[in-house]
Amino acid sequence: MNKATLAGGCFWCIEAAYQQLRGVQQAVSGYLGGDSAHPSYQQVCSGSSGHVEAVEICFDPAIIDYSSLLRVFFTLHDPTTLNRQGNDIGPQYASVIFYHDDAQQQLAQVVLAELAPHYASPIVTRLQAASAFYPAEDYHQGYFTQHGHEPYCQMIVAPKLAKFRQQFADKLKA
């Protein structure tokens, strides 16, 4: 299994999408990029911890490749808004690709260059070496699956997932 770690706003949406892809064994919501060990949701939400909400994805590269994971990532959020996704505002909602090795870094640079002309504004997604990943509290894991009926999930997460399912129907689990 390989690992990909991506941050694109609220982790509930990112996690929900990746859990549906063939070849993804696990998608875990969590935090990374900050200075403190084992931050809490409250610390991250304060915007002062330096961490972002992210999802760590364990995937089988024989079934789904890293490039495909990145293309999915760019359908799930707006990579042209700095520290913001819709109504979620703050540095904890930054768009970041955390690479785990040189090959991932290089491939991310290629995908960013390929996608840039398709956006009216510049892509602000950062590339950053992966650091310690801290899983979020249990109540965040599988949040959309458990709380999809709640207003935030219906208004924000569900439309993103519908777009994702339409674009990547050929990569979804049966």
Domain ranges of the chain: 2-171
Give residue 160's pLDDT: 92
Tell me the C-alpha distance between 97 and 103, whole Å: 13
The yes-or-no verdict on residue 48 having pLDDT over 90 is: no
How is residue 82 written in tokens? 């700095």
Residue pLDDT, tens place only, 78-104 = 999 999 998 889 999 999 999 999 999
- Closest among 51, 130, 132 to 92, alpha carbons compared: 51
How is residue 102 written in tokens? 């040189």
The answer to whether 10 is a known catalytic residue is yes
Determine the average pLDDT of the residues in 50-71: 97
Cβ-count burial 153-162 (b if 16+ within 10 Å, e if not): beebbbebbe
What is the DSSP code string of 13-59?
A: HHHHHHTTBTTEEEEEEEEESSSSSS--HHHHHTT-S--EEEEEEEE
Given 2.120.10.30, 3.30.1060.10, 3.30.70.2860, 3.40.50.261, which CATH number is that of 2-171? Answer: 3.30.1060.10
Residue pLDDT, tens place only, 8-41 = 999 999 999 999 999 999 999 999 999 889 999 9
Residue pLDDT, tens place only, 111-165 = 999 999 999 999 999 999 999 999 999 999 999 999 999 999 999 999 999 999 9
Tell me the C-alpha distance between 99 and 132, whole Å: 12
User: 10, 13, 45, 153: which is the annotated catalytic residue?
Assistant: 10
The answer for residues whose C-beta is within 8 angstroms of residue 148's C-beta and 6 or more apart is 154, 157, 158
